[in-house]
Amino acid sequence: MNEQHGLTRRDFLRAGGFSLAALAGAFGLRGRAQADPTPTPHSGHDPGPTPDANHAMAHGGFGVVGQVDHAANGFDPHELLYDFDYGVVSEENGRTVRTWQIFAIDREFEIAPGIKFPGWVYGSPTSAASRRAGRLVGQCPGPTLRCVEGERLRIEFGNGGSHPHTIHFHGIHAAAMDGVPGVGAGMINPGSRTVYEFDAKPFGCHLYHCHAVPLKRHIHKGLYGAFIIDPDPAKYSGEEAALARARNHTYPECQAINEMVMVLNGFDTNFDDENEIYAANTVAFGYGMERPIDIRRDQPQRVYLVNITEFDPINSFHLHANFFDYYDHGTTLRPTHQIIDTIMQCQAQRGILSFNFNDFEPGLYMFHAHQTELAELGWMGFFNVIL
């Protein structure tokens, strides 16, 4: 544990009120947004502070003092839960082509009340944040790119930052499309562009991130995001086809499920290769008692969980008072683990959680990392189960 002048990392977070100087301003890029016509359903309700939130904080509960300015950030952790970026869909020679424009930019954002982080991030004109703002918004984590198995994917990447960057996609593709230094397009210098193009396979819960060196710094600064490939039901038969429909966003079976994305990350605020703040979707305690995730008791829940925490060998997800099924990497139609309440993930590991609160009492149900320090430093939240 890092200690300076008698302050522990937890003291630093709980005290709040400190900020870091920005290293660079936002890169002013604009683009036209176009979304997939099929929305992903969710509760859409931000319940605001719960009655007992301030009382719990006064007696040593988890949380921070003050609030993050989500409007200034340009993204909100509650919005990130449900923001699937479907890009622009077209047809070429009878085949579906899905295209995204992704930019890397330098920008500062707030990760806890009064604590700002000088990041490097990705942004897309078709993300919810950019569509709402009417301009490109760089966000952390980057936009959740979602497509369907077998589609041709085209990612037009522009580097608007101050350092060379790449995009490396976890999945199957040609070596030239791997987004690593010295292979294919290699490093993309500031002001330059390239195009990554490959077929969407295998289906599952994946991720993308910068692979420029030093790798630990480029990832830690915020250049990462979730990458989801839905199974194509036409490729399967019988029960497997039904399971594939329940995982494909264009089918009503999938739209009946409340789907969320949680990218687990951490932030080294003093650049000593040790994180001071942890979170799901960047903001410490972003789903805490003050702003829990509101979910319906009668609706199935699905969480796409991705761990991209740098400087820690392992992260985890623990659900209180309930259990879930888990699909490791999301590459199977049937769960790889059943009836568990805790899952461990190393960096870049990911999977899908499936659970429900049928017949549960309404109320707040906690979820968090089961490493105590990570939970106390920000990676903790609540589901608010409603009738």
CATH of the domain at 315: 2.60.40.420
113 lies in some domain: yes
The pLDDT profile of the chain, 387 residues, written as one tens digit per residue, is: 333 334 344 443 443 332 323 222 322 322 333 334 343 334 444 444 544 544 444 445 678 899 999 999 999 999 999 999 999 999 999 999 999 999 999 999 999 999 999 999 999 999 999 999 999 999 999 999 999 999 999 999 999 999 999 999 999 999 999 999 999 999 999 999 999 999 999 999 999 999 999 999 999 999 999 999 999 999 999 999 999 999 999 999 999 999 999 999 999 999 999 999 999 999 999 999 999 999 999 999 999 999 999 999 999 999 999 999 999 999 999 999 999 999 999 999 999 999 999 999 999 999 999 999 999 999 999 999 999
101 lies in some domain: yes
The count of domains in the chain is: 1
127 lies in some domain: yes
Of 221, 217, 157, 159, nearest to 190 (Cα)?
159
HSE-up of residue 133 (Cα within 13 Å, Cβ side): 24
348 lies in some domain: yes
Q: What distance in Å separates the CA atoms of residue 360 and residue 322, rounded to the nearest whole number?
A: 9
Q: What distance in Å separates the CA atoms of residue 325 and residue 303, rounded to the nearest whole number?
A: 11
Of 356, 349, 266, 240, nearest to 303 (Cα)?
356
3 lies in some domain: no
252: domain range? Answer: 9-386
2 lies in some domain: no
Q: What distance in Å separates the CA atoms of residue 374 and residue 229, rounded to the nearest whole number?
A: 29
331 lies in some domain: yes
